[in-house]
Amino acid sequence: MDTVYAILHNNLPFLLVGAQMTVVISLLGALIGIVLGLLIALARLSPHRLVSTPAGFYVDIFRSVPFIVQLVWAFYAIPIFTGFFLTSLQSGVIALGFYSAGFFAEIFRAGILAVPAGEGEAALAQGMTWAQSQRRVVLPIAIRKILPPTVNTLVVVIKDSSVVSVLGVGELMFRGGSLAAFIFRPLEVLTVVAIIYVLLTFPVTLAGEFLQRRVVEVR
Amino acid sequence: MNVKHPDPILDCIVLTEGVRKAFGSNEVLTGVDLQIARGEVVVLMGPSGSGKSTFLRCINRLIDPDAGRIVVAGIEMTARGTNLPQARRRIGLVAQNFNLYPHMTVLGNIMEGPRTVLKLPVADARERAVALLKRVGLIDKIDARPNQLSGGQQQRVAIARALAMEPDVMLFDEPTSALDPELTGEVLDTMQELAADGLTMIVVSHEIHFASRVAHRLVMFDQGRVIEDGPPLRLMQDPREERTRRFLSRLMTWETDLEIPEPRGSTTVRRS
Amino acid sequence: MYQWNWDAARESIPIILEGLPVTLSVAVVVMLISLPLAVVVGLARFSRFRLVRGAAYWYTELFRTLPLLVVLTWFFFVPGLTFGINLSPFLVAVAAFVLNSTAFLAEVVRGAYASIDPGQRHAALSTGMTPFQTDRRVVLPQAFRRAIPVVGSTWVSLFRDSALVSVVGVHDMMFEAQTLAVINYRPIEVLSVAALIYFVLTYPQARLVERLFQRLRVIA
């Protein structure tokens, strides 16, 4: 009879490879999400309706459709509409990126809007150039508002990376689920999987608090 | 103002002995001994941080003193077995920020205590609330919401709300400090009327004119203890403590040694 | 060039919508169970007993961090394989979502309760109310009013993320879409329609919640 320890010992490496994959997927997805989200946020703030309205639609659509629907859709649609044949992993990362971009766009837009106009004006009145006023006064205030929700969304990205498992991508959830069924030990395996997920998200929240204290509250 | 001076020994309604309180390493109260008789109006004054508000809130044990004894209307507030909610019915508190319940009307605010705590039937509670509203001069606002009232009006409702419990003693914690200057008058008028009715009042305030005209006693706080205690006019004209003199004189006048130069330009318009 | 088949798209609409009652029942049942539980857990964070406070804290942190799919998979396998209890897919879905939503809503309750001005409690206590009466008559009514918009947005997320239950075999809209896509070999049309349906159902609710947030500014 296998002991719990033996089970863990034999299968932990297998799961940890999945964890590695989860980290990669989350990082790449978050990267795409942040860059794309920033572009969309700026587009939303543009005075040209031709630019701001589609950006608005993007946010509304990508935040209203469930991620799993977006994911499976991307899996089928990307090869057909772009001609690139992507692996499940690549489709998953892209879908995750586009999904999270909707959330990041809202966060960035709210953060930029939250800076009172008076602060920028005060900086200009003191004699700074526009670029200086943005960098030294407006940006730090915006970052202060953006940091906590961004950290939260990063955690959400890690959690939603687990959904990519439905495409058969060998990340942590997929490996955990398959293993649990395969060796008929769901309780032990899934508990370990849960622990690993907690261990993956914990540093993100810690880093967020650290950044909050050092970068934001030094002033 | 014709004030009947009560007999301090027979009618002692608030007694504190050796009350101490520290927040962390900050010793806010370092031993307060005070006796207040039924019907007395006492104003507590002193620099900020001297512990006046903390002391006030120890009286109804919103703040727990670290040491000392507090007796109100015969109830040992500081004893372990005391039923605090019951004891607090005898003590009314009016705070700087009014703290009216925003989700109730003015009438609801005043009726809340009698209904929920005293278990009065609706009709009786309403009758009491209406009488109190008339007394503070706000009967026309009976169905208004707190956010529709001015600061002075809200504070008067807060006073009515506290009076609805028919307390033996009323505590006022800087009742006019959060008000615009033109609104403080109406609140002080109300408080003066209450004093004239014989209500026992302990007031933390820097309104020196109110103290000199309405209070029987002015109690000076400094660094967590009482440094002087006596009739307001005596403390203002002939204080025994240097710190009392310094605080009260700053309160009554504002002096400067700086010379302000005459303006250089002229504001008269030249006619051509 | 891809040949978009409008017929396939049109025909998929009623089939996907067959899953709507299920999608709704999952969301509604979860919400009805989670809300009262969340009030208990959320307020437990303020309990006098350290054990109660701690338990509430760890529960909330754990189930806000764990991916839903992990909890779903846990309920899918563990009761059956380890304990011999067979749960229907619907029960599996509800159990997992309840644990998750309760944690998020508890945090909302905690935040709303803590955001009420302490002066309110002081005033009520000074009148002679017990702590229980203070909560019931003064603090909680105000806290709930504040919590409503956030509860609203939690509901919208719940409705949207319910699509995940299709992986454990609940016949919701996503499940119907997936099965149809396998049968008629037109996954693009079917899934696009599914996405559209979710959008049409979710977006108006999201806007309503936004209006709730704006109205809260006016009242409070």
What are the pLDDT tens digits along chain C (220 aa)? 677 888 888 899 999 999 999 999 999 999 999 999 999 999 999 988 999 999 999 999 999 999 999 999 999 999 988 888 889 999 999 999 999 999 999 999 999 999 999 999 999 999 999 999 999 999 999 999 889 999 999 999 999 999 999 999 999 999 999 999 999 888 999 999 999 999 999 999 999 999 988 887 655 4
DSSP summary character for residue A134: I
Sign (positive or negative) of CA dihedral C66, C70, C75, C77: negative
Q: What homologous superfamily is domain C6-219 in, according to CATH?
A: MetI-like (1.10.3720.10)
For residue C94, give every residue at least 6 positions away whose Cβ sits within 8 Å of its Cβ, in sequence order, or none.
C26, C29, C30, C33
Task: Report domain extents, chain B.
Answer: 1-83+168-252, 91-166
Residue of C69, C81, C178 with shortest CB distance to A163: C69
For tokens 């769901």, name the residue: A186
Q: How far apart are CA B229 and CA B246, in angstroms?
A: 15
Is A64 in Cβ contact with C199 (below 8 Å)?
yes
Q: What is the CATH number of the domain that holds A186?
A: 1.10.3720.10
Partners of A155 on chain C (C-beta within 8 Å) are 65
**pLDDT tier for residue A134 given thresholds of 50, 70 and 90:** low
- Work out how many domains chain A is built from and give that number: 1
Structure tokens at A32: 């795409």
pLDDT digits (tens, 9 = 90+) for B110-138: 999 999 999 999 999 999 999 999 999 99
- The yes-or-no reply on A/C contact (3 CB pairs or more, < 8 Å) is yes
CA-nearest residue to A80 within chain C is C2
* CA–CA min distance A199, chain C (Å): 10
Q: Which chains touch B (3 or more CB pairs under 8 A)?
A: C
CA-nearest residue to A177 within chain C is C73
What residues are paired with B15 via a beta bridge?
B35, B71
Residue B4: its pLDDT value, please? 46
Interface of C with A in 168-187 (CB under 8 A): 174, 177-178, 187
Residue B1: its pLDDT value, please? 39
The DSSP annotation for B22-66 comes to EETTEEEEEEEEEEEETT-EEEEE-STTSSHHHHHHHHTTSS--S
Given CB atoms, is C146 within the 8 Å cutoff of chain B? no
Residue of B95, B102, B116 with shortest CB distance to C129: B116
Q: Which of B2, B64, B3, B4 is nearest to B28 (CA)?
A: B64
Is C126 in Cβ contact with B91 (below 8 Å)?
yes
pLDDT digits (tens, 9 = 90+) for A70-89: 999 999 998 888 888 888 99
Specify the pTM. Answer: 0.83
Q: What homologous superfamily is domain B1-83+168-252 in, according to CATH?
A: P-loop containing nucleotide triphosphate hydrolases (3.40.50.300)
Given CB atoms, is A180 within the 8 Å cutoff of chain C? yes
Q: How far apart are CA A163 and CA A25, in angstroms?
A: 11
Domain region containing A87: 4-216
* CA–CA min distance C209, chain B (Å): 21
Residue B2: its pLDDT value, please? 41
Partners of C209 on chain A (C-beta within 8 Å) are none
Assess whether pLDDT exceeds 70 at residue B270.
no
Is C81 in Cβ contact with A186 (below 8 Å)?
yes
Residue B10: its pLDDT value, please? 54
Is B89 in Cβ contact with C125 (below 8 Å)?
no
Given CB atoms, is C123 within the 8 Å cutoff of chain B? yes
DSSP summary character for residue B103: T
Cβ–Cβ < 8 Å for C191, A72: yes
Residue C102: its pLDDT value, please? 97
Is C67 in Cβ contact with A160 (below 8 Å)?
yes
pLDDT digits (tens, 9 = 90+) for B230-257: 999 888 888 888 888 888 888 777 666 6
Is A68 in Cβ contact with C199 (below 8 Å)?
no
Q: How far apart are CA C165 and CA C72, in angstroms?
A: 8
Q: B5-9, B176-180, B259-263, C31-35: which has the minimum mean pLDDT?
A: B5-9
Given CB atoms, is C150 within the 8 Å cutoff of chain B? no
Is C81 in Cβ contact with A198 (below 8 Å)?
no
pLDDT digits (tens, 9 = 90+) for B158-169: 999 999 999 999
Is A66 in Cβ contact with C163 (below 8 Å)?
yes
CA-nearest residue to B56 within chain C is C126
Assess whether pLDDT exceeds 90 at residue A118.
no
DSSP summary character for residue B221: E
Residue of C122, C129, C138 with shortest CB distance to B62: C122
Given CB atoms, is C162 within the 8 Å cutoff of chain A? yes
Is C203 in Cβ contact with A64 (below 8 Å)?
yes
What residues are paired with A173 via a beta bridge?
none
Sign (positive or negative) of CA dihedral A140, A144, A146, A147: positive
Residue A133: its pLDDT value, please? 67
**pLDDT tier for residue A114 given thresholds of 50, 70 and 90:** confident
Cβ–Cβ < 8 Å for B146, B106: yes
What average pLDDT does the structure give for chain A?
87
Interface of C with A in 101-160 (CB under 8 A): 160
Q: Which of C25, C166, C107, C151 is nearest to A67 (CA)?
A: C166
Arithmetic mean of pLDDT, A26-41? 95
- The yes-or-no reply on C/B contact (3 CB pairs or more, < 8 Å) is yes
